[in-house]
Amino acid sequence: MKCQQVDVNIERFLDSQLPILQHDAISAHIKTCSTCHTKLTKEKDLRHALKNLPVEDVNPDFLKEAMQKAHHNHKPEQKYFISGFTSAIAASLVVWFLSSNTIATAPENSQFPLISMALNKTRTVQMIFDSPGDFKAVKFNLKLPEGFEIAGYPGQKELDWRVDIKKGSNILTLPLIALTVGKGDLVARIAHINKSKSFRLHIRSKEENNLIL
Amino acid sequence: MGMKLKNSWKLMRFGKKTFEAILQPHIKHLYRVAYRLCGNTHDSEDLIQELLIKLYPQRNEMQSIEYLRAWMVRVLYHLYLDIKRREQRSPMAWLDNDETKLDSLTSNNTTPEALAEETSSQQQLINIVNTLNDDQRVLIILSDIEGYTLKELANILDIPIGTIKSRLSRARSQLRILLSREPYQQNYHANITKG
């Protein structure tokens, strides 16, 4: 038995997929070869570490709720919000129009920014999220009100995707279209691990002649 | 390659079980796999929710499925792929986000506090597994982390056993390459020594 043969067969050896004679030959070789012994030990250590990677248990409350939803809803479930956001991904939101460079301000009696749009015209809105750190695979969910769409995605009222965000300002560009005269809330949510934060933006659309920004 | 329907006599003998009763022995394991695939609570719960909604109409047939757990993992995996495809079709892109996964892992921009939180070798190993491509990552998760056999993997992933073997071998090789890169190697082996 040569070391090269151990190299080639080390996985099958650990997976117990080798014929017994070959398995025994490798076992005997490893007892006398410190190089191969070290390799095998490293491979075993890696597999041990992989098997012991932490995983969280399922939340019983979630499970109960999920079962109930499965009972009562045979259609694909809409995404739901997690309450109880903590500050780990605390982010501030500023919204402005690319076209006007005007920072949208929240109207009186409202805590949310408001934008107005002309009917059937694409308006690019940039949302800036200031992140306190780097986060990988952050889930982003966008819900659009009736009568509004993202350009290129007709009929989709909800979009999900995942991105890495970096410390500092992260800019998301949304090409919005108003299909009907009306108003509603665009809700954007960032979720990471078990924390999430939602942002709400009032949108209203009018005939172009009646539009006052 | 599909899972067989078998033992329909059980239905006649024991009658219909509730959906919860069918799921109960498997749900923790399904959540584990979901968590391994998604990497966070929120997405894992979304995935499990979609799984339960998909399985509910099949609750009676499920009682006759041989290797029910592996069959459900297979359904779970395909739902996961569906979600990934939906997300990849998203039109949105973040500006200045052209780093490779590995570059972002080795970034020196993290604060000492943040770095301290993420220096556990287990987290590093998770991060490194997550830098594998999707096919390799799934194989490592199901085989080396969750312990599925080659035959079970072939069933779950709809791939011939021979292909599973070669892909798994490549995935493990890639994992070793990533582990051998600094700074992971030192920390990883330091942890093994401590353990």
Chain B residues with CB under 8 Å of A51 CB are 144-145, 147
Contacts of B114 by beta carbon, 8 Å cutoff, 6+ apart: A133, A134
Interface test with A, best of B49, B62, B141, B168 (most A CBs within 10 A): B49
What pLDDT was estimated at residue A22? 92
Q: What percent of chain A has pLDDT over 70?
A: 75
Closest B-chain CA to A168: B109
Q: How far is CA B161 from CA A149, B53, B156, in A?
A: 45, 30, 11
SS3 readout for A11-77: HHHHCCCCCHHHHHHHHHHHHHCHHHHHHHHHHHHHHHHHHCCCCCCCCHHHHHHHHHHHHHCCCCC
Domain at B9-88, CATH class: mainly alpha
Chain A residues with CB under 8 Å of B103 CB are none
- Measured in angstroms, the CA of A105 and the nearest CA of chain B are apart by 24
Closest A-chain CA to B111: A133
Task: Answer yes or no: do B92 and A56 touch at CB < 8 A.
Answer: no
Whole-angstrom distance, CA of residue A75 vs CA of residue A92:
35
Q: Which strand (E) or helix (H) includes residue A191?
A: strand A182-192
Closest A-chain CA to B22: A67
**Tokens standing for residue A112:** 């949310």
- Token look-up 């009736």 returns A146
Nearest one of A185, A155, A189 to A172, comparing CA atoms: A189
Report DSSP state, residue A83.
P
Name the amino acid, one letter, at B84.
K
Interface size A-B, in CB pairs within 8 Å, comes to 156
Whole-angstrom distance, CA of residue A9 vs CA of residue B98:
39
Task: Answer yes or no: do A56 and B35 touch at CB < 8 A.
Answer: yes
Domain boundaries, chain A: 3-51, 60-210
Closest A-chain CA to B94: A172
The alpha carbon of A25 is separated from its chain's Cα centroid by a whole number of angstroms, namely 49
Closest B-chain CA to A158: B90
Q: Average pLDDT, whole number, for chain A?
A: 74
Whole-angstrom distance, CA of residue A104 vs CA of residue A187:
16
Whole-angstrom distance, CA of residue B41 vs CA of residue B141:
17
Q: What is the pLDDT of residues B52-85, one digit of tens each?
A: 999 988 887 888 787 889 999 999 999 999 888 8
**Tokens standing for residue B49:** 């929710």
- Measured in angstroms, the CA of B12 and the nearest CA of chain A are apart by 23
Contacts of A37 by beta carbon, 8 Å cutoff, 6+ apart: A30, A31
What pLDDT was estimated at residue B154? 92
Mean pLDDT score, A95-99: 35
What pLDDT was estimated at residue A52? 87
Interface test with A, best of B26, B53, B97 (most A CBs within 10 A): B53
Domain spanning A60-210: CATH superfamily: Immunoglobulins (2.60.40.10)
What pLDDT was estimated at residue A115? 79
Chain A residues with CB under 8 Å of B35 CB are 55-56
Task: Answer yes or no: do A136 and B130 touch at CB < 8 A.
Answer: yes
Q: Which strand (E) or helix (H) includes residue A199?
A: strand A195-206
Handedness of CA A22, A24, A25, A27 (dihedral sign): positive
β pairing state of A114-118 and A195-206:
parallel
Task: State the complex-level ipTM.
Answer: 0.71
Contacts of B112 by beta carbon, 8 Å cutoff, 6+ apart: none
Report DSSP state, residue B125.
H
Poorest-pLDDT segment among A143-157, A199-213, B90-104: B90-104
Decide if pLDDT at B137 tops 90: yes
- Measured in angstroms, the CA of A59 and the nearest CA of chain B are apart by 9
B138 and B171 Cβ atoms separated by less than 8 Å: no
β pairing state of A168-178 and A122-131:
antiparallel
Query: B9-88 and B101-194: same fold?
Result: no
Bridge partners of A197, per DSSP, are A190
Domain boundaries, chain B: 9-88, 101-194
The alpha carbon of B165 is separated from its chain's Cα centroid by a whole number of angstroms, namely 18
Poorest-pLDDT segment among A187-191, B35-39, B53-57: A187-191
Fold of B101-194: Arc Repressor Mutant, subunit A (1.10.10)
Using a 10 angstrom Cβ sphere, with 0-12 exposed, 13-18 middle and 19 or more buried, the burial of residue A63 is: buried
B35 and A189 Cβ atoms separated by less than 8 Å: no
Task: Answer yes or no: do B28 and A151 touch at CB < 8 A.
Answer: no
Whole-angstrom distance, CA of residue A213 vs CA of residue B140:
54
Closest A-chain CA to B126: A53
Chain B residues with CB under 8 Å of A176 CB are none
